[in-house]
Amino acid sequence: MDEQEYITHPTTQLPPQLSTFAPEVDWVYDFIFWISVVFFVGIVAATLYFMWAYRRRPGVKSEPTGHHNALELFWTFAPLILLVLMFHWGFQAYMVQANAPDDAYNVRVRARQWAWEFEHPNGITEDNELHVPAGQPVRLIMSSSDVLHSFYVPDYRIKRDAVPGMFTSLWFEAIERTDVTPEGDLSQPDARRVWYRNQVFCTEYCGAGGSWGDNAGHATMYAQILVQRPEDFQEFITNPPPPMCGDHPCTPPEWGEQLFSQKGCTACHAREEGAPQLAGPNLHGLFGRQERLQDGTTVTIDDAYVRHSILEPRAQVVEGFNPVMPNIRFSEQQLDALVTYLQTL
């Protein structure tokens, strides 16, 4: 295949076509685009010509307007044919997107303010990153734990809302790219090898927390789809690599710090002394601190309180804060790492 075909779209500057849907969607878009160009040029050219040809001249009067019902009927019904075509092709292509193949690889997606969590069928979870195999249909089954979000991948031409209280789904198949070489030793399957990446946006407005930090809420609710060669993906999913911090596997506190930002905690919790007030308490010098709770009791912050507050965030809320923290899922190992990290603050 011609390399350029992936990179830019010839006429309308749509993003690269990296899913199997993209060429068909773009074809419909091009059809509408060129019809529009023809109509626009026709209308503007006629307007400009009439403006010039019938500009006001002394002694020349306007002619009385006649009737022309045939002309009216023509330009009422002729465009209708083009519109029916647009509707038809648009709907036909959509029905392909609406029905996932039976053999699709199912991934659960949980959206929350302001992060995406992905869960593979074997229970492995990822935050703001989703590994998928190229050349195989992937179905996303989405839910939201708070407000509306919308999952959008421009390179795939897919988008669908994640709605609290219901499941929505969509599917895609990332194409195999012959023009891109995955990094690493290609003779061995490697769980860390990524073929190419695609940006995921949230396109349903979902608010922002506090002032500007690492996380600007809706505007930074990004994720990436990491497309792998099928054999690399098999390796990743059966034998996931340890979390990496730079060039070495993470120590527990390093992993905890990574999780802290991956899970979106930075949006509501400052970690520096004297930082501006966010939606949740500042975590600087957390352990051993005395806090008054909403029910009037006082606790000393310890390992047990922190774990309980992460698992059931609305049970013991510190006085002066609203019970707005979401339930965030952690594995036992992740929780240990996070608590180890929080102790260092």
Partner 1 sequence: MTAQAGATHPTSHDHAHDDADYLRATRGFRSWAMTLDHKRIGIMYLVAVLTAFLAGGIFALIVRTELLWPGRTIVDPDTYNKAFTLHGAIMVFLFIIPSIPAALGNFFLPLMLGAKDVAFPRLNLASFYIYVFGAIFALFSIVTSAVDTGWTFYTPYSTQTGTAVIAMTLGAFILGFSSILTGVNFIATVHKLRAPGLHWKRLPLFVWSIYATSVIQVLATPVLAITLLLLIMERALTLGIFDPRLGGDPVLFQHFFWFYSHPAVYIMILPGMAVVSELIATFSRRKIFGYMFVAMSSVALALLAFLVWAHHMFVAGMSEYAVMVFSGLTFLVAIPSAVKVFNWVATLYKGSVSFESPMLYGLAFIVLFTVGGLTGLPLATIVTDVHLHDTYYVVAHFHYVMVGGTVFGFIGGLHYWWPKMTGKLYNERLAQIAFALVFTGFNVTFFTQFLLGSHGMPRRYYDYLDQYQPLHGFSSFGSYILGVGFVIMLWMFVQSLMRGAKSPPNPWGSAAFEWQTSSPPIAHNFHETPIVTRGPYDYHLATEEELYTGFPEDRVERVTAKTEKEEG
Site residues for partner 1, 29-68, by CB under 8 A, read 29, 32-33, 35-36, 39-40, 43-44, 46-47, 50-51, 54-65, 67-68
161 counts as binding partner 1 under rule CB under 8 A: yes
Binder of partner 1 out of 7, 98, 311, 315 (CB under 8 A): 98
Q: Using CA of residue 325, residue 329, residue 332, residue 337, what is the dihedral sign?
A: negative
Q: Concatenated DSSP letters for 263-285?
A: TTGGGT---STTPPP-SS---TT
The smaller minimum CB distance to partner 1, of residues 124 and 279, is found at 279
Least distance in Å: CB of 249 to partner 1? Answer: 29
Tell me which residues in 108-147 interact with partner 1 (CB under 8 A). Answer: 146-147
Give the position of tokens 């830019």: 8
Q: Concatenated DSSP letters for 240-258?
A: PPPPEETTEEPPHHHHHHH
Binder of partner 1 out of 6, 17, 18, 25 (CB under 8 A): 25
The smaller minimum CB distance to partner 1, of residues 56 and 248, is found at 56
CA dihedral (230, 234, 235, 238) in degrees, to 10, reads 170
Rounded CA-CA distance 190/50 in Å is 68
154 counts as binding partner 1 under rule CB under 8 A: yes
Neighbours of 286 (CB within 10 A): 19
Give the position of tokens 């306007």: 62
Least distance in Å: CB of 131 to partner 1? Answer: 21
Tell me which residues in 174-213 interact with partner 1 (CB under 8 A). Answer: 199, 201-208, 210-212
Length of the chain: 345
The smaller minimum CB distance to partner 1, of residues 59 and 123, is found at 59
User: Token pair for residue 336?
Assistant: 């240990």
Least distance in Å: CB of 248 to partner 1? Answer: 29
The smaller minimum CB distance to partner 1, of residues 168 and 234, is found at 168
The residues, ordered by sequence, that sit 6+ positions from 194 with a Cβ below 8 Å of its Cβ are: 131, 182, 183, 226, 227, 228
Least distance in Å: CB of 62 to partner 1? Answer: 4
CA 311 to chain centre: 26
Q: Which span sits near partner 1 by CB under 8 A: 88-96, 116-124, 171-179, 186-194?
A: 88-96
Binder of partner 1 out of 10, 101, 121, 164 (CB under 8 A): 164
The smaller minimum CB distance to partner 1, of residues 76 and 298, is found at 76
Least distance in Å: CB of 241 to partner 1? Answer: 27
Beta-strand runs (E) in 188-273: 196-202, 223-228, 244-245, 248-249
